[in-house]
Amino acid sequence: MWWSFVRSPLTAFVHDLIMIAAAWGCAFWLRFNLGSIPDESVLIALRTLPLLLVIHGAAFFMLGLYRGVWRFASVPDLLRIGQAVILGVLVSTAVLFMATRMEGIPRSVFPLFAILLIGFLGVPRLIYRLAKDHNFRPQTGEQVLIVGAGRAGEMLVRDLFRHVNRRYLPVAFVDDDRAKLGKEIHGVRVVGTSNNIVDVVNRFSIDVILIALPSADAAGVRRIIEECERSGVPFRITPRLDDLLSGKTSVSELREVSIEDLLGRAQVTLDWGAISQGLKDKSVLVTGGGGSIGSELCRQISHLGPSSLIVADRSEFNLYSIEMELRARFPALPLHVRLVDVTDTSAVEKLFSDHKPNVVFHAAAYKHVPMLQSQVREAVFNNVIGTQRVALAADRHAVESFVLISTDKAVNPTNVMGTTKRIGEIFSQNFNRHSRTDFITVRFGNVLGSAGSVVPLFKKQIAEGGPVTVTHRDVTRYFMTIPEASQLIMQAAVNGRGGEIFVLDMGEPIKISYLAEQMIRLSGKKPGDDVEISYVGLRPGEKLYEELVHDQEPLAPTPHERILLARFREVDWNYLDKRMRDMEMACDRFDEATLCDILADLVPESSPSSALQPTTADVIPLHASSRTRNAF
């Protein structure tokens, strides 16, 4: 109780009133050269003191001196003190001048009083904070090296000194800004750059490394992680910048380094105003809404205030999972979940008729390359015929825009899945010219952690003790995070005017062997020693590397630096419509041989029906094939 009274705003206010009286008396004393003050001046000082106490006390309250906590007093608190003192002095001078014409009050008393009062109010607060910081600063604990002497590093070391359990003792910084070398932050010196991590660890007997670089790019983080691994001591990292900005976490909430830290890129800058304007108060349908990309699209869209969100998926469990999440996080959102197979014409028609969506994100697709390689009919029926049926329903019901989620495997496809996605692109682009709906395609590579992707597989294999299976030592893939992909999809959707293929900038491709090694290391094990990596060879339909554009799709920039526009390739509409009907009839007959012929006809640069060698398919020039007239 006594301690609560000492720390109360009332105690601080009483202290400040005493300081007002002390500063007023000392101002008169200084005015008379620290000698005896004449009795007449003493009487004037005593008579005017109550007025000063009232005016300055009111100024202190008005400017919020008692909203701050002495324990965390800082420059903003000093500025508030200065403003309050100056305001009080100006008002009290004006009042005394109007009341007494300042008779008997030396003019020099007021500037002296202002200077003294700022000091009398500020110094005790500073002393209190220094004393508390000294008491809270740990004297023992794990020796900590902090990588990054920027704002995040400063916040981290301050929080560590204040932390109740005092587990960590910051002893040194490293930072690549050489201007900071030798400088100190809260008494902790910057002793080198990130290239010196190993030497610093040995010199200071470091127990743990904390990485405070929330806005660093993946290449920089990878280099620093490699240095930390060489040092042989444990390391942790602060949250990513997007999590800090969203308020989900704080800089002191340290965590294990994740694969997203190593493979992610700089924070995506989006035109949220345009995205919100494009989706706010709109009825939005997401097909495949229970999948990895579809569910994240639902989360992102829910933040933007749609008039309703319709989530369609053929998986009962996936649909249930996203419904429970969205209802818990967005209780006011008008949400409709529907079990719908996109190949079911009646169900699709009923979905559009009942909910009348304004915008459709078509994320429903089969995507497992090796599995679909031997199940051509299922791949075509879902990825091509299903896309066509949803697109036709969107046209019949005057949907404003239809966004097809595509893949880099649709470029020079060497597998059935990529070929079917390419035909979905062809149909959407060309149907745009025959519809009031704007048909937009967004193409990108792999997303980290999506269902059936390599990251969950590697995690499972590592947990089981290995081996981790990699198809080929040199195989590479593009990666981005699920939230990043979903946000760029929405950005492309609002930028599109119909008929475009937007290609997301995926950065540099990553070797899958590197991904496997890093995931093993992040699990606390050593590749080759604790967990083996087994190279099993490329599976049917797989490439060594993926591409984002075809040779005949030169890229053009868009207003967003991370979104590029691929050139449109036109197909004769009557011929395309006939081939789509041929595919549907072949699906009904389960005639996979005919389906393979049609796929090769519509996408001549592909080889979907054969088990391919580990190279990309050659592109057939437009003039080199008798089918080319109809293929583009």
Active-site residue set = 409
Q: Strand pairing of 479-481 and 184-185?
A: unpaired
**Closest Cα to residue 96, out of 29, 37, 53, 51?**
51
Query: Which single residue is written with the structure tokens 């109007």?
Result: 98
Amino acid identity of residue 430, one-letter, is N
- The terminus-to-terminus CA distance of the chain in angstroms comes to 82
Q: Distance between CA atoms of 304 and 290, rounded to whole angstroms? A: 19
Q: Distance between CA atoms of 256 and 238, rounded to whole angstroms? A: 9
Q: Distance between CA atoms of 449 and 292, rounded to whole angstroms? A: 8
CA 245 from centre of chain: 9
Contact criterion met (CB below 8 Å) for 492 and 524: no
Burial string for 357-393 (b: 16+ CB within 10 Å, else e) reads bbbbbbbbbbbebebbbebbbbbbbbbbbbbbbbbbb
**Closest Cα to residue 418, out of 291, 546, 504, 294?**
546
Element (H, E) at 347: helix 345-355
Q: Distance between CA atoms of 504 and 511, rounded to whole angstroms? A: 19
Query: Which single residue is written with the structure tokens 């009274």?
Result: 5
CB count within 10 Å of CB 496 equals 24
